[in-house]
Amino acid sequence: MHRCYTRHRPDEFGHRERHRHGYGRRFGHGGPRARRGDVRAATLALLAERPMHGYEMIKEIEERSGGLWRPSAGSIYPTLQLLEDEGLIRGEESDGRRRFTLTDEGEKALAEREGPLPWEEVTAGADPNEVRLRQSFLALRAAVLQVTRAGTDEQAGRVRELMDETRRRVYAILAEEG
């Protein structure tokens, strides 16, 4: 059987991933894509819960979709500006960040929307095992980032050793005969 290998852009650690075309989706590639309208609906739905700034919204959507959808800043911030221009949200400076809240008009627009929440639309039809694996990865990433922010050098070293061992074990699982 012929396998076509191509190079992809570097991942978050600067490594280039090899991807075998035609053998299923790879982590971080080829998942369902959200439409631009979903960003708008997701923004309104999130702001119905509490005031947020743009980066918080990006992280919330990524978490709620199990990592299948992570809107870019280039889609969130123009949407926030558009919603503010339409009078559906209001932005206020707070601690050096612009936090947004729904206006009465925004609450009305949200109430008129029917159907599942935007992140539920993205995960509908997705392999539940893939979603759970992505959620586990996101939780691990958050824990590692917390160590980089608040941990000691000794703790960071122990976590690095644990991650190196875990990576080796993951590759060992992939090498097993199926």
Q: What is the pLDDT of residues 47-65, one digit of tens each?
A: 999 999 999 999 999 888 8
pLDDT of residue 15 exceeding 80, the answer is no
pLDDT for res 167: 94
15 burial class (0-12, 13-18, 19+ CB within 10 angstroms)?
A: exposed
pLDDT for res 87: 96
Domain(s) labelled CATH 1.10.10.10 in the chain stretch across 36-123
CATH class of 36-123: mainly alpha
Instruction: Convert the pLDDT of each residue in 129-172 to its tens digit.
Output: 888 888 899 889 989 999 999 999 999 999 999 999 999 999 99
Percentage, residues of the chain above pLDDT 90: 54
pLDDT for res 157: 96
**Given pLDDT bands bounded at 50, 70 and 90, which one contains residue 114?**
confident
pLDDT of residue 14 exceeding 60, the answer is no
Mean of all residue pLDDT scores within the chain:
82
**Given pLDDT bands bounded at 50, 70 and 90, which one contains residue 34?**
very low
pLDDT for res 104: 96
